[in-house]
Amino acid sequence: MRRTAYYITITTDGMYADPDGGLDYFEPDEVGHRYANGLVRDAGDAVMGRRMYDVMDYWDELDLDDPSVSDVEREFATFWRETPKHVASRGTPTLRANADQIEGDLVDYVRRLRAGDGPDIMLAGGADLFAALSEAGLIDDYRFAVAPMALGQGKQLFGSLTKPLHLRLTASRTFPDGTALLEYVRDDEKTREAST
Q: Using the predicted structure, report yes or no on whether residue 196 has a pLDDT greater than 80.
A: no
Give me the count of residues in the chain. 196
Mean pLDDT computed over 8-16: 95
Q: What's the pLDDT tens digit per position in 44-102?
A: 999 999 999 998 999 999 999 999 999 999 999 999 999 999 999 999 999 999 999 99
Nearest to 18 by CA among 146, 139, 152: 152
Domains of the chain plus CATH, in order, are: 4-195 (3.40.430.10)
How high is the pLDDT of residue 82?
97
Taking alpha carbons only, the member of 87, 2, 74, 10 closest to residue 42 is 2
* pLDDT for position 190: 62
* pLDDT tens per residue, range 99-124: 999 999 999 999 999 998 999 999 99
Q: What pLDDT is recorded for position 194?
A: 54
Q: Kindly report the backbone phi and psi dihedral angles of residue 121, in degrees, each rounded to the nearest multiple of 5, phi listed first.
A: -105, 125
The pLDDT, as a whole number, for residue 110 is 97
